[in-house]
Amino acid sequence: NHTTTFEYLNREFARAKRHQTPLTFAMLDLDHFKSVNDTYGYSTGDRVLKNLARLLHQRLRKTDVIGRYGGEEFAVILIGADTMNAMKLMNEIREQFSQLHQQSGKEEFHVTLSCGLAEITNYDSSHALNDAADKALYHAKRSGRNCVVLAGHES
């Protein structure tokens, strides 16, 4: 949940600062998720969320932290990942997720996600890192969705 994820972020932020190692925080949000629930029902929406969680667990390392952040939002703490590797990885996950065939009865559909990233170097607190990733996610949504935006590179 949100509180536990933020506790992990606080701990990993402090560790990364202390050891001067990279850390990137990612916030992911399913695009147009309300319409998925409205069109196909909440049980289908839950399956879509589980499909994303499964993909994240398959693609991320055991050392990375995955948390549910809100309704259709996930947070990922990429421990030891610099911005270049984090961008590459999150774009691959975004692409793979968009290609997944989601099912509702006999109907098949696709769902996309948006992602905001922030790397520890530019921030002096976990709150600032979190806020930066959140703003980058907001920018990804405003920029047409189905993309990954790095904080500080929103233009």
Active site amino acids? 72
Q: Which residue has the tokens 């932020």?
A: 13
DSSP code of 51?
Answer: H
Contacts (Cβ under 8 Å, ≥6 apart) of 121: 22
| CA dist list (Å): 117 to 4, 34, 72, 93, 138 | 19, 23, 17, 13, 11
The closest alpha carbon to 57, from 49, 66, 48, belongs to 66
Q: How many residues does the chain have?
A: 155
Number of neighbours of residue 42 by Cβ within 10 angstroms: 10
Going by DSSP bridges, is the β-strand pair 113-119/148-150 parallel, antiparallel, or unpaired? parallel
With beta carbons less than 8 A apart as the criterion, state whether 22 and 82 touch: yes
